[in-house]
């Protein structure tokens, strides 16, 4: 039984696809297809929830990104956390991050790699050249989309053969090169695709070489360079009408120097992912729309200490962190019609298991990130009832259970979580919606089993906690969707989404300091269920596209409170607004624009902690982007990041962000018919 603890001191854990140079770009923000909210394909603007999507045209035209973080940080309610000395990325949605609070999926496979330290507890590795689209569902409204996602879901979809092959082609190759001035960054990428009858396959190889970059003050950020290679293989086979089999393999390898203060470690990371999927949409009955997926993600990080500043961990000391995640996801949607009433019923189940193995014979890595196993599984059912295409009523219920094993510790629990959404479209183009949803997150292996002693100069004990309770989120959300065409001209389009939310989390898990008379510092560190946490805010996203020119706006205002102490939560991001505007010219061969990120200061940081969270200053960063199709086969890109060379550091980042950076790229393509 979970018991409410008395008050104590909280502590936080220390470019167009060259499909035709003269085609008009049809994809705009909020029109992309999403599935993470209900497992049913819908346009983002039609979903009664806080969802966003970034499609391939936007990725190619407006980003040509060298980091997934550059994309994520423009989405309302979403920020990222990273260190300059690691190629890993972590996602924060509405102030929720770490230990699976945000369910990150790559081709449907959960990304659960984690190693504790002075960085995010829960990261993923992904080459942006592989990306086809990014989809985000904010908050626990995606009740049926996997266990633990009380902060939300991020789904990355990767390229397939259709993104390289044009109509009538059976084979094509594409090469891409890009140079970045800050850090002498170099990208080389090659992609090939083949189609034969009802089978196609895509292969891609990428290499990135980057030296240490300079911040806006001109200072070099030590150990910020890396060498990264990655490979993608994705195949599809349609043996009969309605049937599709997919197989995906990803190999991501990165070498860098991981540095914390004076401690430096040569690091080699290898992340392999295997995914098999099968879908069947019956051409004869609307009762069968079936999907099944199994996956395995292997993440291994090996380190060798290269400095000699510690007598306890000499140069040459080795350590490793290995996490294997295996899982599956199976569901079906049945559709019924009764005159002006439609019913969609989605039901299924999913499960995953994390196996954590760490080795650090002379250091503390295996104490901070203990070995163990966590298994989580659940079943769900969701119904969506639509009346006259005016009123929608969505009801869902999910059953979750988990087990954790490690050493002499065993921990388990289960819960049923409901969701209900009502949406009404009183006028054409205007939809109002409201949702109540609950989410459930089991404790992670590290939170439960962490045990040992923090190294000098702060040798305090780390205590396990086999009595941890799961977190339970109670989220109220309401908003409005706007969809209008032909406002000023016959071809212009406007899409907008405004969402307000209040998420109350019971039994929030955080690190706390407890009195220990046997400790040299008279305290020990332990993960415990602290007071209720309340996170509330407003998000806005809007796009107007007049074909010749376009403008989009995204912003978020979020506040979080520890209801026991009254202080702010350390993980709440700063308020931000992202404004993007651009134009298309020369029969749409040229797409160019400017993106400005306005970020407020973040001073609402907790003070009753042993870890001092540094407040961040307000800043504005301006980026330029452009893409020019020289021909159907050749494309040039030019970007400037941080145009005015602003020196800044994002909240919760350990290093200053890069200063002025000019990037130039060349894409060439060749197809065979």
pLDDT for residue 6 is more than 80: no
Whether 631 is covered by a domain: the verdict is yes
Query: Strand, coil or helix: what is 366?
Result: helix
Peptide bond just before 454 cis, omega within 30 deg: no
pLDDT for residue 38 is more than 80: no
pLDDT for residue 242 is more than 60: yes
**Tens-place pLDDT, residues 302-323:** 999 998 888 878 899 999 999 9
DSSP assigned state of 61:
I
Which range is least confidently modeled, 89-93, 312-316, 375-379, 512-516? Answer: 512-516
Q: Would you place residue 514 in the very low, low, confident or very high pLDDT band (cuts 50, 70, 90)?
A: confident
pLDDT of residue 365: 81
Whether 1 is covered by a domain: the verdict is no
Is 242 buried (19+), middle (13-18) or exposed (0-12) by CB count in 10 A?
A: middle
Whether 4 is covered by a domain: the verdict is no
DSSP assigned state of 88:
-
Cβ–Cβ < 8 Å for 597, 573: no
Give the integer Cα–Cα distance in Å for 512 and 525.
6
pLDDT of residue 11: 31
Considering only residues 51 and 39, tell me which one the structure prediction assigns the higher pLDDT.
51
pLDDT of residue 25: 41
Query: Strand, coil or helix: what is 114?
Result: coil
Whether 476 is covered by a domain: the verdict is yes
Cα 283 to Cα 240, 242, 289, 338: the distances in Å are: 11, 7, 10, 20
Sign of CA dihedral 119, 121, 125, 131: negative
Cβ–Cβ < 8 Å for 61, 17: no
Q: What is the mean pLDDT of the chain?
A: 89
Percent of the chain surpassing pLDDT 70: 93
Cβ–Cβ < 8 Å for 107, 124: no
Q: Are strands 171-180 and 102-106 parallel, antiparallel or unpaired?
A: unpaired
For residues 24-39, one letter each, b for 16 or more C-beta atoms within 10 angstroms of the residue's C-beta and e for the rest, the string is ebebbbbbbebbbbbb
Count how many domains the chain has.
Answer: 1
Cβ neighbours for 406, distance < 8 A, ≥ 6 positions apart: 370, 371, 372, 373, 445, 448, 449
Q: Would you place residue 486 in the very low, low, confident or very high pLDDT band (cuts 50, 70, 90)?
A: very high
**Tens-place pLDDT, residues 104-120:** 999 999 999 988 776 77
In 27-130 the beta strands, taken as DSSP E runs, fall at 33-34, 42-43, 51-54, 78-81, 90-93, 102-106, 109-110
Where residue 657 sits, what CATH number does that domain have? 2.40.170.20
Whether 185 is covered by a domain: the verdict is yes
Transcribe 425-445 into DSSP letters: EEETTEEEEEEEEEEEEPPPH
Whether 470 is covered by a domain: the verdict is yes
pLDDT of residue 437: 94
pLDDT for residue 328 is more than 50: yes
pLDDT of residue 581: 97
Cα 330 to Cα 274, 290, 345, 356, 380: the distances in Å are: 17, 8, 14, 25, 10
Cα 662 to Cα 310, 546, 666: the distances in Å are: 39, 29, 14
Sign of CA dihedral 651, 653, 655, 661: negative
pLDDT for residue 505 is more than 50: yes
Please name the residue that has the structure tokens 């190629």: 87
Cα 516 to Cα 4, 339, 466: the distances in Å are: 20, 69, 18
Give the integer Cα–Cα distance in Å for 303 and 323.
15
Q: Would you place residue 7 in the very low, low, confident or very high pLDDT band (cuts 50, 70, 90)?
A: very low
Residue from 132, 130, 225, 224 nearest 186 by CA: 225
pLDDT of residue 108: 93
**Tens-place pLDDT, residues 407-417:** 778 888 999 99
Considering only residues 40 and 15, tell me which one the structure prediction assigns the higher pLDDT.
40
**Tens-place pLDDT, residues 525-561:** 888 887 688 999 999 999 999 999 999 999 999 999 8
Please name the residue that has the structure tokens 């018991």: 3
Residue 35 structural domain: 9-672
Whether 2 is covered by a domain: the verdict is no
Q: Would you place residue 31 in the very low, low, confident or very high pLDDT band (cuts 50, 70, 90)?
A: confident
**Tens-place pLDDT, residues 47-95:** 999 999 999 889 998 988 899 999 999 999 999 888 888 899 999 999 9
**Tens-place pLDDT, residues 269-312:** 999 999 999 999 999 999 999 999 999 999 999 999 998 888 87
Cβ–Cβ < 8 Å for 338, 346: no
Query: Residue range 626-644: average pLDDT?
Result: 96
Tokens standing for residue 566: 């009254």
Is 146 buried (19+), middle (13-18) or exposed (0-12) by CB count in 10 A?
A: buried
pLDDT for residue 8 is more than 60: no
Percent of the chain surpassing pLDDT 90: 66
139 forms bridges with which residues in the sheet? none
Cα 469 to Cα 65, 283, 419, 632: the distances in Å are: 40, 46, 22, 58
pLDDT for residue 665 is more than 80: yes
545 forms bridges with which residues in the sheet? 493, 550
Q: Residues in the chain, how many?
A: 673
Whether 3 is covered by a domain: the verdict is no
Considering only residues 577 and 406, tell me which one the structure prediction assigns the higher pLDDT.
577
- Report the run of H or E that residue 305 belongs to, with start and end: strand 289-305
Transcribe 551-610 into DSSP letters: EEEEEEEEEEEETTT-PBPTTPPPPEEEEEEEEEETTTTEEEEEEEEEE--B----SSSS
Which range is least confidently modeled, 82-96, 155-169, 183-197, 423-437? Answer: 82-96
Q: Would you place residue 179 in the very low, low, confident or very high pLDDT band (cuts 50, 70, 90)?
A: very high
Cβ–Cβ < 8 Å for 212, 220: yes
562 forms bridges with which residues in the sheet? 533
Is 638 buried (19+), middle (13-18) or exposed (0-12) by CB count in 10 A?
A: middle
Residue from 145, 104, 109 nearest 297 by CA: 109
pLDDT for residue 20 is more than 50: no
Tokens standing for residue 235: 């195949």
Rg (CA), the chain: 25
337 forms bridges with which residues in the sheet? 342
Residue from 523, 581, 527 nearest 554 by CA: 581
pLDDT of residue 611: 55
Cβ–Cβ < 8 Å for 275, 295: yes
Which range is least confidently modeled, 190-199, 269-278, 454-463, 638-647? Answer: 454-463
């Amino acid at each position: 039984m979970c018991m409410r603890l008395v008050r104590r001191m909280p502590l936080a854990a220390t470019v167009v696809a060259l499909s035709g140079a003269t085609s008009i770009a049809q994809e705009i923000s909020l029109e992309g297809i999403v599935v993470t909210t209900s497992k049913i394909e819908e346009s983002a603007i039609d979903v009664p929830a806080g969802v966003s999507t970034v499609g391939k045209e936007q990725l190619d035209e407006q980003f040509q990104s060298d980091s997934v973080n550059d994309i994520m940080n423009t989405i309302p309610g979403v920020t990222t956390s990273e260190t300059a000395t690691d190629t890993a990325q972590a996602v924060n949605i509405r102030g929720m991050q770490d230990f699976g609070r945000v369910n990150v999926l790559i081709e449907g496979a959960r990304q659960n790699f984690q190693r504790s330290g002075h960085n995010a507890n829960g990261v993923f590795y992904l080459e942006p050249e592989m990306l086809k689209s990014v989809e985000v569902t904010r908050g626990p409204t995606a009740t049926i989309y996997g266990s633990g996602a009380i902060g939300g879901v991020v789904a990355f979809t990767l390229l397939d053969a259709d993104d390289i092959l044009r109509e009538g082609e059976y084979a094509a190759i594409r090469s891409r090169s890009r140079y970045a001035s800050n850090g002498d960054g170099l990208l080389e990428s090659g992609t090939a695709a083949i189609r034969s009858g009802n089978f196609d396959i895509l292969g891609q190889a990428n290499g990135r070489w980057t030296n240490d970059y300079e911040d806006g003050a001109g200072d070099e950020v030590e150990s910020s360079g890396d060498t990264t290679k990655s490979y993608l293989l994705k195949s599809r086979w349609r043996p009969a009408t309605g049937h599709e089999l997919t197989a995906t393999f990803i190999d991501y390898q990165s070498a860098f120097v991981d540095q914390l203060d004076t401690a430096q470690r040569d690091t080699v990371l290898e992340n392999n992912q295997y995914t098999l999927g099968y879908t069947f949409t019956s051409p004869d009955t609307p009762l069968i729309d079936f999907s099944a997926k199994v996956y395995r993600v292997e993440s291994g990080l090996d380190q060798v200490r290269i400095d000699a500043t510690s007598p306890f961990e000499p140069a040459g000391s080795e350590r490793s962190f290995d996490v294997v995640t295996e899982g599956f996801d199976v569901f079906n949607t049945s559709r019924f019609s009764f005159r002006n009433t439609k019913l969609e019923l989605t039901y299924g189940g999913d499960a995953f298991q994390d196996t954590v193995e760490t080795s650090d014979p002379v250091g503390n890595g295996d104490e901070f990130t203990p070995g163990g196993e966590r298994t989580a599984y659940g079943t769900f059912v969701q119904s969506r009832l639509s009346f006259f295409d005016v009123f929608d009523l969505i009801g869902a219920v999910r059953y979750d259970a988990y087990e954790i094993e490690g050493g002499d510790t065993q921990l388990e629990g289960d819960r049923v979580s409901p969701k209900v959404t009502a949406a009404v479209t009183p006028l054409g183009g205007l939809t109002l919606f409201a949702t109540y949803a609950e989410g459930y997150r089991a404790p992670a292996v590290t939170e439960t089993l962490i045990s040992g002693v923090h190294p000098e100069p702060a040798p305090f004990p780390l205590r396990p906690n086999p009595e941890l309770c799961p977190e339970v989120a109670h989220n109220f959300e309401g908003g409005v969707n706007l969809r209008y065409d032909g406002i000023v001209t016959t071809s212009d389009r406007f899409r907008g989404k405004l969402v307000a939310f209040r998420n109350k989390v019971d039994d929030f898990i955080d690190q706390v300091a407890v009195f220990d008379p046997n400790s040299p510092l008279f305290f020990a560190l332990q993960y415990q269920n602290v007071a209720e946490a309340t996170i509330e805010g407003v998000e806005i996203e809007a796009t107007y596209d007049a074909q010749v020119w376009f403008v989009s706006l995204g912003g978020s205002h979020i506040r979080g409170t520890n209801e026991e102490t009254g202080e702010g939560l350390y993980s709440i991001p700063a308020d931000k607004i992202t404004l993007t505007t651009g134009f298309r010219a020369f029969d749409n061969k040229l797409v160019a624009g400017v993106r400005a990120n306005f970020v407020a200061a973040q001073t609402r940081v907790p003070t009753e902690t042993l870890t001092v969270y540094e407040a961040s200053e307000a800043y504005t960063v301006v980026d330029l982007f452009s893409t020019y199709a020289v021909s159907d086969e050749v494309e040039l890109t030019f970007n400037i990041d941080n145009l005015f060379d602003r020196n800044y550091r994002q909240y919760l980042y350990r290093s200053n962000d890069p200063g002025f950076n000019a990037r130039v790229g060349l894409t060439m393509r060749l197809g065979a018919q």
